[in-house]
Amino acid sequence: MNTYWGEFLSVSCALMWAVAVILFRVAGLTISAWSLNLFKNTVGTALFLVTFLILYGVEWPEVPLSQLLILIFSGILGIAIADTFYLKALNLLGPSRHAILHCLFSPFVILLSFTFLGERMVMLQLGGFILILGGVFLVNLKKPRSEIRLKALEWGLLAGVGAEFLMAAGIVLTKPIVTEGSPVFVAGIRLFGGTGAMILWAGLRGSLRTNLDEFKSPDIPWKTLIVGSVLGTYLSMIVWIAGYKFVDASIAAILNQTSVIFIILLAALFLKEKVTPRRWIGTLMGVAGVILIVLAGS
């Protein structure tokens, strides 16, 4: 019997991430993308260490070295590099313009899943996918704003597309492992790998102190930064990985895509971005797409 746990977790993750994106946007006004990513990952790593001690004590689950290396590499791709690109694109483009790029995550995951995992989709799921993407495009369809410089737009688009592809590659790499293992353990090891790689890279470049100095500014929105880090790096990551444990990677990716709809709504509520009737229609299309996907999996 299908209990819809995978679908529920994937949509819950989308909402958590959308809230975190709004918070990261606010924090990103005073902190660079690299330093913001390093901070949120360090907070997440500390929380995962505590979680591991509670769940496993000092005896962590035995994992083959090959799988451990895959998880670490996945974390470097999907957390150290992809999240930095993601935050950079968010700073350059803003939430609404940047949101449309996140719709690329699903096609990238589906393409990689078809290629490496042999997954397939039924027509009803494809219909839901088209509805969601249609809604995403509709709510984001607008004329370019003159205050965004062409160079910033180009770099923002490049960083955003790169982020989505690397995120997709990172999660597809972990799918065979998370199916048999603990989502919490998988998420934690990925985060350890990503955070460790960032600290090592900053140390080798001699920029770690410069990154730390950014947080001495009196303008740092600490509450926003900490809440966003806990929600976006710890809670949403566990729920994200768990969703992939209970449902095919292609379906989970499409449901995760609803974060774009949530971002539009939250940006309107908290950042005072205008929501037009066209955007409301797009939101309803996204909800309808989620319903189709859930029905197809029943």
- The two tokens of residue 100 are 């449309």
CA–chain centroid gap for 292, Å, is 23
Residues written for the chain: 298
From the list 109, 69, 46, 85, the residue with the least C-alpha distance to 163 is 85
CA 194, 229, 101, 152 torsion-angle sign: negative
**d(C-alpha 166, C-alpha 85), whole Å:** 10
More confident residue, 205 or 290: 205
From the list 280, 292, 274, 263, the residue with the least C-alpha distance to 105 is 263
pLDDT in tens, 48-84: 999 999 988 888 888 899 999 999 999 999 999 999 9
Residue 1 pLDDT level (bands cut at 50, 70, 90): very low
From the list 233, 246, 239, the residue with the least C-alpha distance to 41 is 233
**d(C-alpha 94, C-alpha 81), whole Å:** 19
Q: What is the DSSP letter of 79?
A: I
On whether the CB atoms of residues 91 and 33 are closer than 8 A, the answer is: yes
Q: Other CB atoms closer than 10 Å to residue 236's CB: what's the count?
A: 24
- Taking each helix axis from N to C end, the angle separating 5-27 and 82-93, rounded to the nearest 10 degrees, works out to 60
Q: What is the predicted pLDDT for the residue at 103?
A: 74
Tell me the average pLDDT of the chain: 84
The whole domain housing 52 covers: 5-296
- Tell me how many domains the chain contains: 1
**d(C-alpha 155, C-alpha 31), whole Å:** 18
**d(C-alpha 14, C-alpha 21), whole Å:** 10
CA-based end-to-end distance of the chain: 8
pLDDT in tens, 155-190: 888 898 899 899 989 988 888 887 777 778 888 999
Residue 109 pLDDT level (bands cut at 50, 70, 90): confident
- The two tokens of residue 179 are 């199916």
In this structure, of 31-45, 137-151, 259-273, the range with the lowest mean pLDDT score is 137-151
From the list 286, 176, 289, 178, the residue with the least C-alpha distance to 240 is 178
Q: What angle do CA 175, 162, 46 make, to 5 degrees?
A: 60
- Residue 32 pLDDT > 90: yes
Q: Other CB atoms closer than 10 Å to residue 173's CB: what's the count?
A: 19
Burial track 129-140 (b if 16+ CB lie within 10 A, e otherwise): bebbbbbbebbb
CA–chain centroid gap for 92, Å, is 17
**d(C-alpha 134, C-alpha 128), whole Å:** 10
Q: What is the predicted pLDDT for the residue at 78?
A: 94
- The two tokens of residue 80 are 């150290």
**d(C-alpha 30, C-alpha 88), whole Å:** 13
- The two tokens of residue 6 are 């995978």
